[in-house]
Structure 1
Amino acid sequence: MRRSTSRINMVALLCAGAVGLTACGNSDSSDDPTVAQRGAGESPATAAGPTGWPQATDGVIDEKMCGLLTGDDFAKYKVITGKVETLPFQVNAEVNGIGCNYSLDDRMGLALGKTDDEARLLYADSTSSSSAKSGKENVVTGADQSIAYLDGEEQAYVVSRRGRLIVRTSLDSLLSEISAQERLDGAVALNALVLERAPQLGKA
């Protein structure tokens, strides 16, 4: 099966958060039912706010936040998911964040900076690659900053910042046959969905 540079760059983006850092490696799959794939019509088991979705109780970003996206959400973009693996948001640094691996290289990452300035630095780290520099900006509704770009023709990345919150989504072509543009559109939509389901996160 194909394991090109998209695999390396994906981990570098969602696990490391900065170009040049090494991958964080595999972690054990979470046994928390809130991050497992849910079937059609099922609601998240970790509701912590009025929206019915996990809202980072006490400002802590942990594996429960992976429940902001479901298997049904990915299925809309022809992506098949399985049991979610959790990863550090960033290596070699203490970051209040989590990485969620839904299916090989189909991922979402969340981080909450202590201040807007810290979040801006995380955003800059996450968008410092040469591929990101040629991306399209201001693509995610509700974000203060956002960018979408392709790494070659395989991996689609979207990074957004809303206040202190950083959201990173990506879709890979490894297990799906969707086009590069469809992967970009899907990653943008999933990123915006996270912001919609946690409407106050990062604002205060």
Structure 2
Amino acid sequence: MKRGCAIRTVATGGALALALSGCGGGGDGKASGPGGAAAKPAARATAPAGGWPQPENGRLTAKMCGLLTDDDYARFGHERMPLENGAPAQDGSNTIGCMYILGDQLTLSLQRTAQGAKIAFRQGVAEHQDRRKGKQSVLASNVVQGADESWFDYSTLGGDVSEYEVEARRGALTVGIILSEVPQHPDKDPKGILAGLAGLVLQRLPNVGKADTGTVHQVKYVLWGSGPVSKQVVYNDPVSNKTVTLAGVKLPWHKEFPMPDTGDQPTAALSVTGASALPTGVIGCEILVDGKSVEKKAPDGFMNFCSTTYHN
């Protein structure tokens, strides 16, 4: 990680880093080192007075940088430098970032639904793999005990192979840790260190992220018409906020996908456009949310466009 870099956030369509091969879920409960041997677990640390810091009114706070101590790192054989900055993300997401001198980091993100966190996690791992194209990789999945899904690899933000990162998701909670080692004193088992530290965070937040506090809506786009084929279909994916274009689509056509309530994006732009392959053809369009039609236009001309803004 580059020194002084901005805190990464986790929001639907973004990534704290996370369906791609080699990155599946279902942690096997084993934290292994480079040679495949199980990493030696750290001794259980004594909780501070009042217990380990927890969310306040459902929000993560800078106090939660204290979930991992210098002693925790030391027990795994890594020396962590003093905290440089610990603060909530500035984009309004329920995320905190804790940055330490020389580049160690702890990031926590809590979404309203496990589905929302799952989508963001998998988008994040896809972005990570894109950034590592052409670079050395030691990507491994299912490395954190107690996580639904997790992965470990070199960190991509700093581009330094002496920096490693782990991402782990349990329900709606995502934990990310970056380990920046001193070249003169390389860590013997960075995978085991990071997997063990992430596991400690999950242990110290036993109930966080296990219950949804929001709703997962179901979005459905529909096109139909008199022609057998639509020349082109264009729709907006409200989760990634990306425009998707399809060609040669057979009619009738529909697309369904979940749209989690993130709380950070209270509105979502929904749109779908269809263009007939024949100038004499006609196309109709409809948008449904949770089975209820929110926009519909009857077939009228060789092109039709449905659009609406949905309020969570």
**How much has 1:57 moved relative to structure 2?**
2.7
Instruction: Count the aligned residue pairs.
Output: 168
SS of 1:141's equivalent in the other structure is: coil
Counterparts of residues 66-81 of structure 1 (less than 5 Å): 66-76=65-75, 77-81=77-81
**How much has 1:182 moved relative to structure 2?**
1.9
**How much has 1:125 moved relative to structure 2?**
3.9
Q: Which residue of 2 aligns with 1:63?
A: 62
Q: Which residue of 2 aligns with 1:105?
A: 103
Q: 1:158/1:78 Cα in 2 relative to 1: closer, same or farther (>3 Å)?
A: same
The alignment yields a C-alpha RMSD, in angstroms, of 2.8
Q: Tell me, yes or no, if the aligned pair for 1:44 and 1:67 is still in contact at 8 Å.
A: no
Provide structure 1 residue ranges, at least 5 long, that are not aligned to the other structure: 1-5, 20-40
1:203 & 1:42 partners in 2: Cα distance? 24
Comparing 128-137 and 97-106, the one that deviates more: 128-137
Provide structure 2 residue ranges, at least 5 long, that are not aligned to the other structure: 16-44, 212-312
Q: Tell me, yes or no, if the aligned pair for 1:79 and 1:175 is still in contact at 8 Å.
A: no
* Corresponding letter in the other structure for 2:2: R
Within the alignment, does 1:173 sit opposite 2:184 as a pair? Answer: no
Counterparts of residues 45-64 of structure 1 (less than 5 Å): 47=50, 52-64=51-63
**How much has 1:122 moved relative to structure 2?**
2.6
**How much has 1:106 moved relative to structure 2?**
0.8
**How much has 1:88 moved relative to structure 2?**
4.3
Q: Which residue of 1 aligns with 2:200?
A: 193
1:103 & 1:15 partners in 2: Cα distance? 17
1:16 & 1:82 partners in 2: Cα distance? 22
1:182 & 1:119 partners in 2: Cα distance? 28
Q: Which residue of 2 aligns with 1:139?
A: 143
Give the number of the structure whose residues are more often strand, by fraction.
2
Question: TM-score when scaled to structure 2?
Answer: 0.48
SS of 1:57's equivalent in the other structure is: coil
Question: TM-score when scaled to structure 1?
Answer: 0.71
**How much has 1:178 moved relative to structure 2?**
2.2
Within the alignment, does 1:7 sit opposite 2:27 as a pair? Answer: no
2:207 & 2:83 partners in 1: Cα distance? 27
Q: 1:167/1:11 Cα in 2 relative to 1: closer, same or farther (>3 Å)?
A: farther
* Corresponding letter in the other structure for 1:117: Q
Q: Tell me, yes or no, if the aligned pair for 1:78 and 1:176 is still in contact at 8 Å.
A: no
1:122 & 1:198 partners in 2: Cα distance? 20
1:185 & 1:196 partners in 2: Cα distance? 16
**How much has 1:86 moved relative to structure 2?**
1.2
**How much has 1:16 moved relative to structure 2?**
4.2
